[in-house]
Structures are given as structure tokens and as C-alpha cells.
Structure 1
Amino acid sequence: MDLRALLTTHLKLRHLVIVLAVAEHGSLVRAAEELYLTQPALSRALREAEHAVGASLFERTVRGMVPTPAGAACLEHAKAIVGHLGTLRRRVDELNDPDAGLVQVGAHVTGANLLLPRAVARLMAEKPRVEVRLREAPPETLIQELGSGDLDLLVGRVTDHPSTARLRLVPLYREEFRIVAALSHPAHTLPHVSLPDLAAYRWVAPLANTPLRDELELNFRNAGLAPPAQQVESGAPATLRTLVVEGGFLALMPETMAIAEPNVKILDLHLDGLAQQVGLLLHPDRPLTPSAVLLADKLREVADEMGRDIGPDAYTALVDPGKGPTSS
């Protein structure tokens, strides 16, 4: 890296912040309001940024300010740089006050019901002044927020997929997704459950362009079936549960979540490719803050307990730690 050349660059942090604001709002007026700048001052700073980069970063369209290809490249780096600076500030704050801190963690269905809550509880017991912000959203949104520095780490399904190609993946334990239905669902009365039988029912499908959705549809195709005609797409655990319990939908649910939910029952059908690694999804270049490192340690502790080779009695202990396997 040519450090001397960087000393002479005209591209400043304020330019990157302005580029991010214009991209977010799609309007010079709204970006200026967000940053408490006049529009002429913001326009001048944007021209300075374009001069420093050596290319036009936005074009005016009927849909507002749209990034050019150079602008899209600039945005990708700007998000990373601003995210790094935010993490640096929090790391220094925690070095000055080791008992305090902030961890921002995202979760999507997998790991959100047992793994993450138990790890957070252990973290808070050890460091009560640490603030934890939990974020549940679709995987694509969480990955974008991890890249921009709005999240320190993600907890969820760890698998090779285009959406996770740029992340550092740390597997913690293995779990299977199972097909679930409400206790009164007619599928439970089938003498032998098969995918052709279940294709006729309504489904809550995983979000499009996720590994789980791809694998579910692959199971239908391999069985010579089209995906269910009546389906709702959702990745929110609360919505999924309500649709299953009250709406009569079938759905895929992590096995530990299904066992812990008294109002649903697992159907006796295993689909191919739905056993999964649950773990951490991390930014490949951004170090964790001390509090985030501690949470990662707690997640590993809980995952080790959940990931043992366990039988039905031990699953009772998994969902109710007060009850364990009995020995004869």
C-alpha cells in the first residue's frame, strides 16, 4: 500500500458519508436535510467526491439520484470504510471501559429461538452493563447490514450459497429443518406421509433466493412435483408460527423450535438437504469488538451443549433445561 499517495488524496470521510446519504435517500434535498447541510453545500461536496474519484457517481433520473457503475463501486467501499470506523470507535470505547459495550447481532429463524437468547442471557449475567441489540430480518437484509457495520455478527444457517460467498462462516452445531403442522391438521391422519400428499396443502414457503427455499423446491422437483400452488412467503418466526397454528399452513421449522412449540407437531417425513450447520456469519475483514467476541464465546458454549449427539429424552432437556435424561 502506497501510504504517501493516500496522504495526498482529495477523497475525505465526509465525501463518503455524503455519497451514502444521497444513495440512501435518492435525493439531494432529502440527503441535505438528513445531514443538516444546505443543498448547495451538499452538491458542492458531491462534486468534490466525484473529482477525487475521477468519475460521475450519480445520474439524475425520474426515479431520483441513481448510482452509476462507478457510484455503485464507491458505495460498496464507502459502506465498508464507514462500518470499520464505527467499529473502531466502539472498540476504543470498550478498551476505556471494559465493563460496558454494545453488541449488534442479527438472526434469521435458525438459532433465534434457543441458541441466541441463551447466549445473550449468559453474556448479560457476566457483563450486565453491555447493551445487546437483536435484529430479526430476512437474510439478504441482515447480510447488507453486516457489510455496512450496522451489525457485528449474524447467527443463522451456515451454508455455501451466493448470498454468503463474501462472509466468514463459523459452523457451531448441526440441526435439521422439519415439516410441521398444527396439531389438528389433517396431514397427521395420513397413514404414510409423502411429499405428493403434502403438495396439495397450503405452505408457508421460505423466502426466495435463500438456501432453504432452493432446497425445498429441489425436493419437489426431484419428486416430479411443482411447488405448492397455495403458499405464503415468510421468514419471520412469529408470522410463520401463527400461519401454521391458526391458518392451517404447513411450514419448515428448525427441529429445536418445532419441539419447543406445543401447538405444532412434526410430520414423519424427512426431506433431503435440509440438515444444516448453524453458526456465525462474520464480516471477513472487520474485527469484533470485545463485547462481540464475548458473545461469540457464549454462542459457542451454548452450541456445544445443543450439538451433542442426543436422543428424545435429551431433547426434553434441550427445550427445558430443568429436565434431563433419566438414568435407570
Structure 2
Amino acid sequence: MDLRALLTTHLKLRHLVIVLAIAEQGSLVRAAEELYLTQPALSRALREAEHAVGTSLFERTGRRMVPTPAGQVCLEHAKAIVGHVGTLRRRVDELTDPEAGVVRVGAHVTGANLLIPRAVARFTADRPRVEVLLREAPPEALIQELGSGDLDLLVGRVTDHPSTSRLRLVPLYREEFRVVAARSHPVHALAEASLKDLVGYPWVVPLAHTPLRDELEENFRSAGLTPPAQRVESGTPATLRTLVAEAGFLALMPESMAVAEPGLQMLDLHLAGLAQQVGILLHSDRPLAPNAELLAGKLREVGDEIRRELLVTVPAAVPPHDAAL
């Protein structure tokens, strides 16, 4: 790295913040309002940023400011740099007062029922003055927020995917998604339920365009069946739980969640491709602040316990045909 060349660069941190604000707000007017700047001052700062980079970063399309290809590249690096600066400030602050601060955790449905609550409870016992902010959203949104520094870490499904290629993945335990129904549901009277027996019932299905939804539908197609016609699409655990327990729906649920639900019962049916690794997803080159590191340690601790619980409670969790996934 040529440090002397960097001393003479005209690109400043404020320029990166301005570029991020314009991209987020989609217009100079709204970005100026967001940053408490006048529009002429913001326009001048954008021209400075473009001069420092050497090319145009935005083009006006109708009423919106749209990043150019160079602007997209600039945005990728701006998010990482601003995220690093935010983490730097928090790490220094926590050196002064380890008992203060905020840890921001992103969670998808996976792991949100047992892993995160147990880990957070242990963390807050050690750090009672540290605030923990939990954010539940689709994986794509959470990964973007991790990259921009809005989140410290993610908890969810650990899988090889282009969206996670730049992240550091820490697997904690492996479990299977199982079909669940209310204990009073008629499917439990079947000697050996198959997908053919289940396709006519209403289902709560995972969100469209997610690996879990694709894998569920592939199971039906492999059995020569059309996926259930009567279905509700939901990624919210509370909605899923109520529809299954009270309205006769079938659904997929992680084993660790299913065994903890007294009103629900798993079917003795294992579907191909529905095992998962649950773990922590981290920014590949951004160190965690001390409190975030402590929470990550609690997640590892609880993850080990859940893994042992699954081995005892559901010994046949991963059938042979799924072992290589």
C-alpha cells in the first residue's frame, strides 16, 4: 500500500458518506435533508467526490439519481469503509467503558427461536448495560446491512451461496426441517404419511425464491406431485405457529423449534435436501467490537448445547440420503 499517495488523495470520508446518502435516498433533495446540508453544498461535495474518483458517479433518470457503473463500485467500497469507521469508534469507546454500547444482530427465522434468546440472556447477564438490537428480515437484506456496518453479525442458515461468498461463516449445529402439524391433526393417524397424503391439506410455505421453498417444491415434483394449491407464504414464526396450531395447516419447521412447541408434533417423514447448518455470519475482514465478540462467544456456547440436545431428542435428525448436503 502506497501510504504517501493516500496522503494526497482528494477523496475524503465525507465524500463517501454523501455518495451513500444519495444512493439511499435517490435524490439530491432528500439526501441533503437527511444530512442536514443545503442542496448546493451537497451538489458541490458530489462534484468533489467525482473529481477525486475521476468519473461521474450518478446519472439523473427522471427524478432519481441512479449510480453509474463507477458509482456502483464506489458504493461497494464506501459501505465497507464507513462500516469499518463505525466499528473503530465503537471498539475505542468500549475500551473506555466495556459495560456500555450496543450490539446489533440480524436474524432470519433459522435460529431465532432458541439460539438467539438463550445467547442474549447469557450475554445480558454479563453486560446488563449493553443494549442488544435484534433485526429480523430476509437474508438478502441482512447481508447488505452487515456489509454496510449496520449490523455486527448475523445468525441464520450457513450455506454456500454467491450472497455469502464474501462473509466468514461459523457453523454451530446441523438440523433438519421437519413437517409439523397440530397434535390433533388427522395426518397423525396415518401409519406412514407420504407427500401424496399431505398435498391436499393447506400449507404455510417458506418465502418465494428462497432455497428452502425451492427444496420443498422439488420434493413434491420428485414425487410426481404439484406443490400444494392451498398455501400461505410466510417467514414469520408467530404467524406460522398460529396457523399450524389453530387452523389445520401443515408447515416446515426446524427441529429445535418443533420440539419446543408443545401444541405441535413432527410427522415421521424426512424430506430430501432440507437439512441445514445454523451458524454465525460475519464480515470477512472487519473485527468485532468487544461486546459483539462476547455475544458471538455466547452463540457458540449455546450452539454446542443445542447440537447435543438434538442428538438426544431427535437421534434420526439427518437421514442417510441427506448426509452429504
Q: Structure 2 vs 1, CA of residues 244 and 63 (structure 1 numbering), >3 Å: closer, same or farther?
A: farther
**One-letter identity of the residue aligned with 2:8:** T
Displacement after TM superposition at 1:231 (Å): 2.5
Question: Are the aligned partners of 2:146 and 2:153 in contact in 1 as well (CA < 8 Å)?
Answer: yes
Question: Are the aligned partners of 2:194 and 2:269 in contact in 1 as well (CA < 8 Å)?
Answer: yes
Unaligned runs of 5+ in 2: 316-325
Q: Please name the residue that 2:273 is paired with.
A: 273
Paired with 1:144 and 1:182, the residues of 2 have a C-alpha distance of 36
Q: Please name the residue that 2:311 is paired with.
A: 310
Paired with 1:129 and 1:17, the residues of 2 have a C-alpha distance of 30
Paired with 2:2 and 2:62, the residues of 1 have a C-alpha distance of 41
**One-letter identity of the residue aligned with 2:312:** G
Q: Deviations over 1:121-150 (max 9, x none)?
A: 111111212211111111111111111111
Question: Are the aligned partners of 2:107 and 2:154 in contact in 1 as well (CA < 8 Å)?
Answer: yes
Q: Deviations over 1:206-238 (max 9, x none)?
A: 223333223222222322233222333221212
Displacement after TM superposition at 1:186 (Å): 3.4
SS in 2 for 1:143: helix
1:167-316 → structure 2 map (5 Å cutoff):
167-308=167-308, 310-312=311-313
Paired with 2:162 and 2:188, the residues of 1 have a C-alpha distance of 36
Count of aligned pairs between the two proteins = 314
Question: Are the aligned partners of 2:220 and 2:226 in contact in 1 as well (CA < 8 Å)?
Answer: yes
Q: Please name the residue that 1:3 is paired with.
A: 3
Paired with 2:180 and 2:62, the residues of 1 have a C-alpha distance of 47
**One-letter identity of the residue aligned with 1:285:** D
Q: Structure 2 vs 1, CA of residues 94 and 233 (structure 1 numbering), >3 Å: closer, same or farther?
A: same
Displacement after TM superposition at 1:313 (Å): 9.4
Question: Are the aligned partners of 1:137 and 1:236 in contact in 2 as well (CA < 8 Å)?
Answer: no
Q: Please name the residue that 2:23 is paired with.
A: 23
Q: Please name the residue that 1:57 is paired with.
A: 57
RMSD of equivalent CA atoms: 1.8
Displacement after TM superposition at 1:184 (Å): 3.5
SS in 1 for 2:311: coil
**One-letter identity of the residue aligned with 2:229:** A
SS in 2 for 1:134: strand
Q: Deviations over 1:54-98 (max 9, x none)?
A: 221111113511111111111111111111111111000001112
Paired with 2:212 and 2:16, the residues of 1 have a C-alpha distance of 36
**One-letter identity of the residue aligned with 1:110:** T
Q: Does 1:33 align with 2:33?
A: yes
Provide TM-score, normalisation by structure 2: 0.91
Paired with 2:179 and 2:119, the residues of 1 have a C-alpha distance of 27
Question: Are the aligned partners of 1:106 and 1:142 in contact in 2 as well (CA < 8 Å)?
Answer: yes
Larger deviation: 232-241 or 138-147? 232-241
SS in 2 for 1:169: strand
Question: Are the aligned partners of 2:27 and 2:63 in contact in 1 as well (CA < 8 Å)?
Answer: no
Displacement after TM superposition at 1:22 (Å): 0.9
**One-letter identity of the residue aligned with 1:311:** V
Larger deviation: 186-195 or 145-154? 186-195
Q: Please name the residue that 2:94 is paired with.
A: 94
Paired with 1:208 and 1:16, the residues of 2 have a C-alpha distance of 35
**One-letter identity of the residue aligned with 1:310:** L
Larger deviation: 240-249 or 76-85? 240-249
Displacement after TM superposition at 1:113 (Å): 0.9
Q: Deviations over 1:132-170 (max 9, x none)?
A: 111111111111111111111111111112222221110
Question: Are the aligned partners of 2:28 and 2:42 in contact in 1 as well (CA < 8 Å)?
Answer: yes
**One-letter identity of the residue aligned with 1:258:** A
Larger deviation: 162-171 or 305-314? 305-314
Name the % identity.
80
1:65-76 → structure 2 map (5 Å cutoff):
65-76=65-76
Larger deviation: 240-249 or 65-74? 240-249
Paired with 2:286 and 2:209, the residues of 1 have a C-alpha distance of 26
Question: Are the aligned partners of 2:256 and 2:306 in contact in 1 as well (CA < 8 Å)?
Answer: no
Paired with 1:131 and 1:92, the residues of 2 have a C-alpha distance of 17
Paired with 1:194 and 1:268, the residues of 2 have a C-alpha distance of 9
Q: Deviations over 1:173-206 (max 9, x none)?
A: 1111111123343333334311122222222222
Paired with 1:267 and 1:63, the residues of 2 have a C-alpha distance of 54
Paired with 1:203 and 1:313, the residues of 2 have a C-alpha distance of 23
Q: Please name the residue that 1:141 is paired with.
A: 141
Paired with 2:57 and 2:249, the residues of 1 have a C-alpha distance of 47
